[in-house]
């Protein structure tokens, strides 16, 4: 078994931290992981990318080869398009619909979403609304993990535990909002 995930979004959306949460859940399940991320300049409102590779055998490259990603988890729809060359032929895209228009050349959002909808396996969702509904507007990244949960080679309970552990430091309210956000995501893509 091997499962490769591309996490992409814009600096500040919490893409890298989510990849760490899933990596922890995978390790807790006794699997091998390699995760690669970008730091520094690009975190200032630019494109942010993390790769996570999960396998039951040793993993060589820390980055995912093109055409090999089983899942693209996109916190912003235009960013999903950027990494389509990495998506495997039977891979899935789970993406938030809300655009971040911090560049003047941002394309028409309809045409961005149409590109995603044209893929064989794509899920688009209003992650912001589901996060607000869960009680924490900043948990959109966790909503997306929930929407992708059924594709991951991990038990949903195990991911939920890793999420709870990740936010434990911030108190019960933050934990329960993020767990709710995860569940909202799951319901959106049952």
Partner 1 sequence: MSTETLLGNEAIALGAVHAGLSGAFAYPGTPSTEIMEFLQETAAREAGTANAFVAQWCANEKTAYESALGASYAGRRAMASMKHVGLNVAADPFVNSALIRINGGFVVVVADDPGMHSSQDEQDSRWLADFARIICLEPSDQQEAYDMMRKAFDLSEKHEVPVMIRITTRLAHARAIVKTGPRTPQNPVRKADADMSWILMPAIARKRWRELIEKQKAFAAISDGPDANPLAMKSGKLGVITTGVALPYYRENLADLVASLGAEPSHLHIGMYPMPKEKLRKLAAGVERLLVIEDGYPFVERELRGILPFASPRILGKESGELPIDGELSPDNVRAALGLPEREGFAVKNLVPPSRPPSLCTGCPHTDSLVALKEVLRDYPLHSVNSDIGCYTLGALPPYSAVETCVDMGASIGMARGASEAGLRPTVAVIGDSTFYHSGITNLIDAVSHRTNMTVLILDNGTTGMTGAQPTILPSSGLGNLVRGVGIEPEHVVTLRAHKNEHAKNVEAIRRELAYEGPSVVIMVRECLEAVKKARKA
Site of interaction with partner 1 (CB under 8 A): 10-11, 20, 23-24, 27, 32-47, 59-69, 78-79, 81-82, 84-89, 102-107, 111-112, 114-115, 118-119
Smallest gap from residue 135 Cβ to partner 1 (A) = 20
Which 8-state DSSP code applies to residue 54?
E
Asked whether the beta carbons of 126 and 97 are under 8 A apart, the reply is yes
Q: Which is nearer to partner 1, 21 or 130 (CB)?
A: 21
Q: Which is nearer to partner 1, 13 or 184 (CB)?
A: 13
Q: Where are the alpha helices (DSSP H) in 46-171?
A: 77-82, 109-117, 127-134, 140-148, 156-167
Smallest gap from residue 91 Cβ to partner 1 (A) = 8
Whole-angstrom distance, CA of residue 84 vs CA of residue 163: 27
Smallest gap from residue 183 Cβ to partner 1 (A) = 26
Smallest gap from residue 113 Cβ to partner 1 (A) = 11
CA dihedral sign, ordered 122, 73, 30, 139: negative
Q: Which is nearer to partner 1, 74 or 130 (CB)?
A: 74
The count of C-alpha atoms lying within 13 angstroms of the C-alpha of 86, restricted to the half-sphere facing its C-beta, is: 26
């Amino acid at each position: 078994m091997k499962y490769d995930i591309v996490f992409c979004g814009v600096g500040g959306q919490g893409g890298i931290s989510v990849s760490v949460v899933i990596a922890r859940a995978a390790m807790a399940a006794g699997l091998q992981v390699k995760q690669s991320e970008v730091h520094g300049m690009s975190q200032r409102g630019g494109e942010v990318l993390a790769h996570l590779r999960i396998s039951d055998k040793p993993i060589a490259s820390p980055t995912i080869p093109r055409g090999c990603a089983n899942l693209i988890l996109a916190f912003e729809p235009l960013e999903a398009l950027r990494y389509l060359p990495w998506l495997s032929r039977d891979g899935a895209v789970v993406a938030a619909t809300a655009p971040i228009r911090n560049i003047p050349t941002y394309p028409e959002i309809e045409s961005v979403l149409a590109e995603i909808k044209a893929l064989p396996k794509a899920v688009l969702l209003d992650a912001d609304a589901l996060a607000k509904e869960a009680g924490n507007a900043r948990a959109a990244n966790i909503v997306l993990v929930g929407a992708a949960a059924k594709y991951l080679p991990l038990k949903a309970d195990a991911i939920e535990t890793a999420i709870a552990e990740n936010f434990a430091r911030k108190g019960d309210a933050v934990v329960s909002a993020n767990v709710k956000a995860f569940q909202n995501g799951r319901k959106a893509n049952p």
